[in-house]
Amino acid sequence: MKKSKDLAPIAIPHGPPVESTSEYFKSKMESSRMVKKYPVWDVARPTPQVLMEHARRDLMEAEEKLAIKREEEKQNRQIMDAKWEELRAKELLLKESFISFNKFIRENQEKRDRAERKMADDNEVLARKTRETEAMRKRVAEMEEVKQLMEKQVEDYSVYEDYLMAVVQKYPEFKQPLDVLNRYEALAAAKATLADRQERDLALLERARQDIAALAEDKKLFIMGLNNTLAVLRVSGATTRSAAASSSGSWRWLG
């Protein structure tokens, strides 16, 4: 005969009993909290009327719960509608805020662009003014040099001014130094005119001398030609006379 296996063997604690007391009370408390279930054949079987009553009661409870749920749903719907309305208002407000913010950003960008353009124009004007100021400083420095040079020339030429004043004081026909300068310029112009005229007359005389020299050379050559012709004629005349004398002697001898 095969011995059956014990499915719930009893665990015998080892050690002194005092140490197992806590385990005992713990297992007792857990066993008191366990739900006791009985076999199906020990439960009383309900009748159809009881089942119907249970079903009606469950239905009433379900309808009451459904009504409560519907009321809760209605309240939740109202709350959600209110929240949706609030969200829509917030959305519209946010859209308006976005539009206002976008407009603000655009206006700020336009202001920034205008400010940058104005800054660029101001920088260009500043650079131009700086260049003009530098050029003006150079011009002022040049004018200072010219001023110093002119002051030095005035100081150097003051002796001439003193001389002109002495001339004006000595000769009553001059009222001021400018009259002396005008007289000098007139005399210088007359001298230049006379020099030009003298140079022109000398050029005419030189041309006349050259013409006379050329004419004298031509006449000299002409006279030399005449002398050559005269010499030839003399030789020819002498030869002719000699020939004539010889001919007359021969005729006399023949006679």
Summarised one tens digit per residue, pLDDT across range 27-50 is 666 655 554 554 554 455 667 777
231 found inside a domain: no
> Based on the structure, what is the number of domains in the chain?
1
Given a cut of 80, whether residue 6 has pLDDT beyond it is: no
176 found inside a domain: yes
Task: Check residue 185 and give its pLDDT.
Answer: 87
180 found inside a domain: yes
24 found inside a domain: no
Give the model's confidence band at 138: pLDDT under 50 very low, under 70 low, under 90 confident, else very high. Answer: very high
76 found inside a domain: no
Given a cut of 50, whether residue 8 has pLDDT beyond it is: no
CA 125 to CA 131: how far, in whole Å? 10
Given a cut of 70, whether residue 230 has pLDDT beyond it is: yes
Q: Give the CB-side neighbour count of residue 21, counting CA atoms within 13 A.
A: 4
Q: Which domain holds residue 210?
A: 172-217
- On average, the pLDDT of the chain sits at 79
Task: Check residue 62 and give its pLDDT.
Answer: 83
Task: Check residue 91 and give its pLDDT.
Answer: 84
51 found inside a domain: no
Higher pLDDT pick, 246 / 31: 246
CA 57 to CA 193: how far, in whole Å? 154
182 found inside a domain: yes
203 found inside a domain: yes
Distances in whole angstroms, Cα of residue 38 to Cα of each of 27, 34, 43, 45: 21, 13, 7, 14
